[in-house]
Amino acid sequence: DGGITQSPKYLFRKEGQNVTLSCEQNLNHDAMYWYRQDPGQGLRLIYYSQIVNDFQKGDIAEGYSVSREKKESFPLTVTSAQKNPTAFYLCASGNGYTFGSGTRLTVV
């Protein structure tokens, strides 16, 4: 079945650590997106990529980095520069119609 796979489902990060969230799609979509969701808020765009080897900052890119070396994959790294990384992270592809099931990141 086609879809988007995000892993891990839960992730714990220590202060000062970088962590990478995985997003893989087999839908042959060109565009991929990363959103952050905080309680009681809508989704905010972190980064997006409309084609391999190209990506753009979204509204809240500070403290995050991405790469797009393959069409199927768009990993997100949460760096130590992100001061409040605890949130639910959602990956999407295509024209935004298809979302993964999310990764819940917690700082411990």
Partner 1 sequence: GDSVTQMEGPVTLSEEAFLTINCTYTATGYPSLFWYVQYPGEGLQLLLKATKADDKGSNKGFEATYRKETTSFHLEKGSVQVSDSAVYFCALSATNFGNEKLTFGTGTRLTIIP
Residues in contact with partner 1 by CB under 8 A are 6, 30-31, 33, 35, 40-45, 48, 50, 58, 90, 92, 94-102
**Shorter beta-carbon distance to partner 1: residue 58 or 80:** 58
Question: Cβ of residue 33: shortest distance to partner 1, in angstroms?
Answer: 6
Distance (Å, whole) CA 65 – CA 15: 17
Asked if residue 26 lies in contact with residue 3, where contact means CB atoms within 8 angstroms, the answer is yes
Q: Which is nearer to partner 1, 9 or 14 (CB)?
A: 9
Beta-strand pair 32-37/64-66: unpaired
